[in-house]
Amino acid sequence: MIAVQRLSARARLDKSPGALSYATALAESGDESWERWLTEYRRGDALILRLELTLELAGDGNEMLRTSTDGLFVENHVHAPQVEQQIAELASGDFAVLAGELKRRGRDVDVRGISAMYVHVELDPEVQRRVGGGRARQ
């Protein structure tokens, strides 16, 4: 069994036109939840993020695995920890990818074990400036 040293997520603003275009297309097709996300984004009540997840293994080699996901919508809040909590929850979407890569490398790890771990969340400075901006929720 391997030991995990740290599981961390870094959130950056996703400025790619693809994320917004995808959400717009879904909203225009009648998806009410995407209509709501776009409305909130335009008001400043939602952010579109790129999530970079890193799993660091303990040991001499300090082996790291990384994955990233674009186009994640989160609610903007006055309090940064509320945004960070959403990011930690979204990170779980990549746990199976990390576990699969570990297995491919011959490492024994269980996705349930990873999902029970604390995810350290770091907000990029640009995200920090946007948190609480606009009409963020209180």
pLDDT tens-place string over residues 3-17: 888 999 999 999 988
Query: Residue 137's pLDDT band (boundaries 50, 70, 90)?
Result: low
- Residues 16-45 as b or e (16 or more Cβ within 10 Å = b): eeebbeebeebbeeeeeebbebbebbeeeb
How many Å apart are CA 14 and CA 6, to the nearest integer?
24
Number of domains the chain is built from: 1
HSE value, Cβ hemisphere, 13 Å, CA-based, for 10? 11
How many Å apart are CA 81 and CA 131, to the nearest integer?
10
| DSSP-based three-state secondary structure for 130 | helix
* AA identity, residue 96: A
pLDDT tens-place string over residues 71-117: 999 999 999 999 999 999 999 888 888 888 888 888 877 777 788 88
Average pLDDT value over all residues in the chain = 89
pLDDT at 136: 53
The answer to whether residue 82 is domain-embedded is yes
Domain containing 54 equals 4-130
The answer to whether residue 138 is domain-embedded is no
The answer to whether residue 63 is domain-embedded is yes
